[in-house]
Chains A and B, each alone.
Chain A
Amino acid sequence: MTAISVARRRLPVGRLVLVAIAVGLVLAGFATGALPANRWEPFLLASTWTFLGRGLIVTLLIGGTSLVASLVIGIPLGIARASLTGPVALVVRGWVELVRATPILAILIVIFLGLSRLGLDLEAVQAAIVGLTLYNSAVLAEVVRAGIRSISRGEVEAARSLGLTFAQTMRLVILPQALARMAPAIVSQLITLIKDTSLLFILGGQELVGFGRSFFNFYGNLLETYIVLGAIFFAICYPLSRVARRLEAGQPAGERIVVSGEADQLATATSAR
């Protein structure tokens, strides 16, 4: 009881001091001229926010589309990864490992430029969705594999011996449990995915960062715009990270799929001992 009350009293103090430091830094910035107030003025205009809002919509659409497509491809891929044996399993494993070993930006550029060389001209946005889906489906396949592996083999055997087919076993017994365990990892991966949509800008596509660049090319307030862009991404990703943590905390320790390191590096998507 005392521990809890101490913790409750502690938190706001630390946060208040943090806010005070942040406000102090900003004031110091204004005072010394490092953060000229006039460069922030464009952010008071409604037109700025409708402009950046259009970029944000593109970002969210790309993120959402890629997530859904990645799940559609990644779940069967993960089931294949967990249950296949023999040469096909090696091919699936090779594919998943190779994609995960490649920088997402390299994948995006190779798809964007490579496909147009092959005569298939994609727009930057389309190429980004294809690339993000390719990459994230491989990552999610590993998450799904870890999730399935974390369910006791006995459950598969029991379900099969009750007369369920493999597909029924997966759909009715294994996946519902595995998905619950995978939920935090999937949400974490969504954060990475949303952050990665910013790379579309390198392909020349117009999403949030691209709109931000056009914006500061007009007003000349580079640093300020980057701070605002960062804040917008933070406002989306931070709540998601809280959701991931809440989901994780809701699971018994022995059943967690541990996401170690950066979310997209799920080699250690191990079930905790």
Chain B
Amino acid sequence: MDILFTQPLLGNSELFFEGYRNTLILAVGALLGASAIGIVGASLKVWGGTLLSPLAGAYVEFFRNTPLLVQLSFFAVLLAPANLGITGSPIVVGLIGLSIYTGAYVTEVIRAGILSVDPRQIETARSLGLSQVQALRLVVLPQAIRTVIPPLGNLAIALVKNTAIVSAIAATELLKVAGIIETRTASFDGYLAALVAYWTLTIPLAIFVDVSERRLGYSR
């Protein structure tokens, strides 16, 4: 622990934990945002018909096939007071950008979850007297969740790692804070501590994914 809590870090501990907190806010907030987008996106893709389904598909393809850095920079400029005037806060831009980017991946994961359930099961459930909502809730959902949980866990890991890119639009998250500490104290310890801080988030998530895969019967 002595290695970690060196003088440059102790002197800037408040700043460091602000960075840690902001990374957490970005990750948790964007996970919620991306889940909401993903549920809507997947529903549109599966049940959206001629118009909405390709629209959702275009959203997925576009945001998955361009760099997050370009998207974030674009949103930072677009939402800035000088243009749309929605927000100048890098954290808010980061939340929006990460949600939209990750939402594209979540859409695909949830869509695969929905499609993993044989549609004949819905027909069977309906013919047994269940309503459409009941059939979805009691028959489709429990099976779809099984398929969806491990990949969603993986997306959460990717999301935590992607919060680092928000430093590029000057959000004071872990990596940015490490840079500030380096400028202030000429010490590299901020960066090393940031690595460890990321691991405190990603490694437990990785273990969760591993366990859930085994529990849910994925062969490895």
Contact = CB atoms under 8 A, between A and B. Distances in A.
Interface of A: 10-11, 13-15, 17-18, 21, 97-98, 100-106, 109-110, 113-114, 117, 149, 191, 195-196, 198-199, 201-202, 209, 222-223, 226-227, 229-230, 233-234, 237-238, 241, 260-262, 264-268, 270-271, 273
A262 B154 contact: yes
A270 B70 CA distance: 31
A217 B154 CA distance: 38
A267 B206 contact: yes
A199 B175 CA distance: 13
B195 A268 contact: no
Nearest to A260: B151
Contacts of A237: 64-66
A60 to B, nearest CB: 14
Interface string B31-59: 00000000000000000001101110010
B66 A195 contact: yes
B168 A202 contact: yes
Interface residues of B, number: 59
Contact of A102 (B51, B152, B161): B161
Nearest to B62: A234
Contacts of B78: 223
Nearest to A118: B188
A226 B77 CA distance: 9
A202 B69 CA distance: 9
B5 to A, nearest CB: 19
Contacts of B158: 261-262, 264-265
Contacts of B165: 103, 105, 199
B89 interface: no
Interface string B105-137: 100010000000000000000000000000000
A109 to B, nearest CB: 7
Contacts of B202: 101-102
A23 to B, nearest CB: 14
Contacts of B219: 270-271, 273
Contacts of A17: 50-51, 54
A191 B192 CA distance: 28
Contacts of A260: 109, 150-151, 154
Contact of B175 (A13, A105, A233): A105
B40 to A, nearest CB: 17
Contacts of A103: 160-165, 175, 198
B65 A241 contact: yes
Contacts of A261: 105, 109, 151-155, 158
A261 B158 CA distance: 8
B140 interface: no
Given A17-B54, A226-B74, A233-B66, 5 more contacts: A98-B199, A102-B198, A106-B164, A229-B70, A273-B219
B84 to A, nearest CB: 9
B198 A14 contact: no
B195 A102 contact: yes
Contacts of B198: 101-103, 106
A14 B54 CA distance: 6
Nearest 9 Cβ contacts at the A-B interface: A260-B151, A261-B154, A14-B54, A103-B164, A265-B154, A237-B65, A103-B161, A101-B202, A226-B74
Contact of B55 (A13, A18, A222): A18
Contact of B218 (A105, A109, A268): A268
Contacts of B150: 260, 267-268
Given A101-B199, A101-B202, A234 B168 contact: no
Contacts of B65: 191, 195, 233-234, 237-238, 241
A109 B175 contact: yes
Given A233-B66, A271-B219, A14 B51 contact: yes
Contacts of B62: 230, 234
Interface string B180-206: 001000001001101100110011001
Contacts of A230: 62, 66-67, 70-71, 74
A230 B188 CA distance: 34
17 contacts: A14-B51, A21-B55, A105-B164, A110-B191, A113-B191, A202-B69, A222-B77, A223-B77, A223-B83, A234-B62, A237-B64, A241-B61, A261-B154, A267-B153, A270-B218, A271-B219, A273-B217
B220 interface: yes
Contact of B220 (A222, A229, A270): A270
